[in-house]
Amino acid sequence: MTKQQANWSPYDNNGGSCVAIAGADYCVIAADTRMSTGYNILTREYSKICKLADKCVMASSGFQADVKALQKQLAARHLIYQHQHNKQMNCPAMAQLLSNTLYYKRFFPYYSFNVLGGLDNEGKGCVFTYDAVGSYEKVGYSSQGSGSTLIMPFLDNQLKSPSPLLLPVQDAVTPLVEAEAVNLVKTVFASASERDIYTGDKLEIVVVTADGIRREYMELRKD
Amino acid sequence: MFRNQYDTDVTTWSPAGRLFQVEYAMEAVKQGSAAIGLRSKTHIVLGCVNKANSELSSHQKKIFKVDDHIGVAIAGLTADGRVLSRYMRNESINYSFTYESPLPVGRLVVQLADKAQVCTQRSWKRPYGVGLLVAGLDESGAHLYYNCPSGNYFEYQAFAIGSRSQAAKTYLERRFENFADSSRDYLVKDALMAIRETLQGETLKSSICTVAVVGVGEPFHVLDQETVQQMIDAFEIVGEQEGPAAEPDASAVLEAAAEQGAAAADQGGSTDEGVAPMDI
């Protein structure tokens, strides 16, 4: 008797890639806007980026239904926090909340691969990268999603982060200026779109600075 | 005569068909410091008197934001009020989560009223000792409700609860016909006037009152002390003239100026400073 296999999966992968880069006083979060299923495109204009708090933005690729549910959960929890503390959550606090929320569903996970970006309490850029069940780490840059295998090595080459295990503790944020980081992101997505079939259509870039949140778009390959 | 025999349990009726524990709970509301609410077609203003126990202590929070479109002012046992606000916030968040739209105020007050009713029919519970003025804006317009410990609720054009609220109610009764078309600023002024009525001679300062507004295009928020003080200063001139003068004089001035005020309100929002006679 062969073991019975599932004839239905509660998950689907809608593809796409996300990137985030932390700078000295800014943070760039970017994701493509293509949503696909299998070899088909569902839409070319779906935003994977969600503003969780004033200085905290999350980009998630994977199963967008789970991503949407996760975003709603975090938004509701953030409202409760604001009622209780009379202020918005800062980025490191949101990072921990996201981790806890993901682990809460350890045995039926959110199929969501997240990068969280924003400014910490001192106004420095910070990026947190996650797996599907909440394991997270503060890093200087990260990518997730279908194009991450193409994107990450390139970011490593350009922005190599010193190991957090080294002493003395070195700064993870990139010395690049905001404009340079945005350009790097555009380059990286243009390259990923070439070889990753799930990445393309349009690139959405969100930049978080002390002045607020800025949004930018760039066309990508549509094939 | 029989009150003391039938007032031990909330679940005991009196021969006259009353639940004394519930009525005692409503007494607690009357003992709390005043809270008032008034609404126009597009805005609702909540105000309350903040009396601190001593100069050393801070005063109690009596106005709570429930959601961007709903706020509540309480009078009575503020601890009960805090707990109910938390319940309301939770309900609002859950509704938004499920329906991706703001909780209609009418639904919230019914839920609150049902929650209060439960406490009037369980022997191991006691009624909430707090009256709530719920101000909210939804698709059907601007609403002001009063929820009392008995589980009843009513919709109002304007209302006042708490100690010395009758003075404020009298003022509101005189003026309420103008509220529907009042501008936001005049509504706040009327709220401050009503609060002043409950102070009975004491000078109205922004440090002893709190005012909150919610309206079309304006999410619920508490006005900061400076703004409130500016609005008080704009019309408080008559307050200083009154001074320790007898009440009859004051009411005569009020009534005369009320007509002026109504006329000025019809002219539409004029500037705050200078032209004092506009609104008393």
Quickly list DSSP for B165-186: HHHHHHHHHHHHHHHTT--HHH
Question: Smallest Cα–Cα separation from A47: which of A194, A203, A222?
Answer: A203
Q: Which CATH number fits domain A17-220: 1.10.260.40, 3.60.20.10, 3.30.465.10, 3.40.50.720?
A: 3.60.20.10
Between A207 and B253, whose confidence is greater? A207
Taking an 8 Å cut-off on Cβ atoms, the answer to whether A76 and B65 are in contact is no
Q: What is the mean pLDDT of chain B?
A: 85
Kindly list the residues from chain B whose CB atom is less than 8 angstroms away from the CB atom of residue A72.
97
Question: What percent of chain B stands above pLDDT 70?
Answer: 83
DSSP one-letter code for B276: G
Give A166's pLDDT tier (boundaries 50, 70, 90). confident
Half-sphere exposure of A45 (CA within 13 A, CB side): 1
Is residue B51 less than 8 Å (CB to CB) from chain A?
A: no
Taking an 8 Å cut-off on Cβ atoms, the answer to whether A83 and B97 are in contact is no
- Report the predicted TM-score, pTM, of the whole model to 2 decimal places: 0.84
Residue A49 has pLDDT above 60, yes or no: yes
Question: What percent of chain A stands above pLDDT 90?
Answer: 92
Taking an 8 Å cut-off on Cβ atoms, the answer to whether A72 and B97 are in contact is yes
Residue B140 has pLDDT above 50, yes or no: yes
Give B67→chain A minimum CA distance, Å: 9
Kindly list the residues from chain A whose CB atom is less than 8 angstroms away from the CB atom of residue B97.
72, 76
Give me the mean pLDDT over the A213-220 stretch: 97
Residue A117 has pLDDT above 80, yes or no: yes
Taking an 8 Å cut-off on Cβ atoms, the answer to whether A80 and B93 are in contact is yes
Residue B54: predicted pLDDT: 83
Q: What is the helix (H) or strand (E) element at residue A138, kind and residue range? A: strand A136-139
Half-sphere exposure of A169 (CA within 13 A, CB side): 4
Output the DSSP codes for A166-207: SSS----SB---HHHHHHHHHHHHHHHHHH-TTS-SEEEEEE
Give A80→chain B minimum CA distance, Å: 8
Give me the mean pLDDT over the B215-232 stretch: 94
Taking an 8 Å cut-off on Cβ atoms, the answer to whether A83 and B65 are in contact is yes
Q: Report CA Rg, chain B.
A: 19
Give A85→chain B minimum CA distance, Å: 13
Q: In a mutagenesis test of the B interface, which of A79, A82, A84, A87 is the best target, namely the one with the most B β-carbons within 10 Å?
A: A79
Taking an 8 Å cut-off on Cβ atoms, the answer to whether A72 and B89 are in contact is no
Question: Smallest Cα–Cα separation from A193: which of A10, A12, A32, A9?
Answer: A32
Residue B255 has pLDDT above 80, yes or no: no
Taking an 8 Å cut-off on Cβ atoms, the answer to whether A83 and B96 are in contact is no
Give A69→chain B minimum CA distance, Å: 9
CA B244 to chain centre: 27
Q: In a mutagenesis test of the A interface, which of B97, B98, B103, B221 is the best target, namely the one with the most A β-carbons within 10 Å?
A: B97
Give A162's pLDDT tier (boundaries 50, 70, 90). low
- Listed in sequence order, the residues at least 6 apart from B109 whose beta carbon sits closer than 8 Å to its beta carbon are B134, B145, B147, B153
Residue type, A183: N
Kindly list the residues from chain B whose CB atom is less than 8 angstroms away from the CB atom of residue A79.
89, 93
Give A172's pLDDT tier (boundaries 50, 70, 90). confident
Kindly list the residues from chain A whose CB atom is less than 8 angstroms away from the CB atom of residue B63.
none
**B 84-143 residues inside an 8 A Cβ radius of A:** 86, 89-90, 93-94, 96-97
Give B97→chain A minimum CA distance, Å: 7
Structural domain boundaries in chain A: 17-220
B63-85 pLDDT, tens digit per residue, is 999 999 999 999 999 999 999 99
Residue B2: predicted pLDDT: 62
Give the three-class secondary structure for B73: strand
Closest residue in B to A74 (Cα) is B97
Taking an 8 Å cut-off on Cβ atoms, the answer to whether A80 and B65 are in contact is no
Give B141→chain A minimum CA distance, Å: 24
Kindly list the residues from chain A whose CB atom is less than 8 angstroms away from the CB atom of residue B96.
76
Residue B225 has pLDDT above 80, yes or no: yes
Across the A/B interface, how many CB contacts are shorter than 8 Å? 13
Kindly list the residues from chain A whose CB atom is less than 8 angstroms away from the CB atom of residue B103.
none
List the domains of chain B with CATH numbers: 28-240 (3.60.20.10)
Give B202's pLDDT tier (boundaries 50, 70, 90). confident
Taking an 8 Å cut-off on Cβ atoms, the answer to whether B93 and A72 are in contact is no
Residue A106 has pLDDT above 80, yes or no: yes
User: Which ipTM was obtained for this model?
Assistant: 0.86
Question: Smallest Cα–Cα separation from A97: which of A68, A67, A71?
Answer: A71
